[in-house]
Amino acid sequence: MDDLNIRRDRHAGRITLTRPRALNALTHEMANAIKAALDGWRDDPAVRLVIIDAEGDRAFCAGGDIAAVYHGGRAGDHGIGQRFFADEYRMNAAIRDYPKPVVAFMQGFVMGGGVGIGGHASHRVVGDTTQVAMPESGIGLIPDVGGTWLLARAPGRIGEYLGLTGARMGAGDAIHAGFADIYLPEAEWDAEKDRLAETGDASALRRQAPPPAALESRDLSAFGGRTVEEIVAALEHAGDDEALKPIRRNSPLSMAATLTMVRAARGDLRMHESLSREYRFTHRATADGDFLEGVRAQIIDKDRNPAWNSASDRAKVDAMLADLGPAELTWEDDA
């Protein structure tokens, strides 16, 4: 397909995102093709590892291509989004659980769906242009694609901070927060990919000392509040306008749900549990949440002035995260 270059390269399976003009945004078809490639290589002894990268300097993958989800939801066809999210999450889980090394080289923007591809690889390489974020609360969604799993495992209150504000992380912060493993200058990436394909050995991946992590020394104690309202009050008391600005702009429902989900994910034993919880929200997002208004304001009309409709009370959050019954996300290994 035109949006991906999937091929064998010596001892490596190669997946390259090839939509640089669209910041390599992930479509439903791309998600399915990535999953199919991984399934095809799983038991192939000639493929010792998988390399995932992307064309262009600006982005590894800036998120999911949600135009079809938006237009479907506006037309009352919520199944378009539900099928996309379900298949995307199965692909995310396949990367996380893959029995062979998966090496992701993540330059530029790595956001939302991009984190779902690269953030679950066994070897996650970042460079000087890397900007990692989970900004979904700004469009009325939640950090999905296994994002709540990653946020829940970040040190201290970094997970709550990133989930509520959508703040971007450079290479040093991404490694500190557990969204990446290896820093390597991007000028050296092509040679490293060639060596990986030649040897089929990911254990000797080169690395350099990463840039300092600003998050390591930042006081994020305010994000220990029980509710978004408590967090806002603590930030106001501290005069932290940098954190308050996005929180005041983002969907109240999305932030309240994000706070609940990140904290719930700390008790999950497998990422599948986090993905299933995320799917309960995204399954309902186009019909019952702020998603359509958020996408309209940020992406379609670009007026940057969403009129959030959904309340952030406990009952609404519980309703968005309630069990879906027969519509629950299923997995290939479900009995």
Q: Which residues are designated catalytic? A: 64, 113, 136, 144
Are 29 and 61 within 8 A, CB to CB? no
| Beta pairing class for 109-111 and 59-61 | parallel
Structure tokens at 223: 């994000």
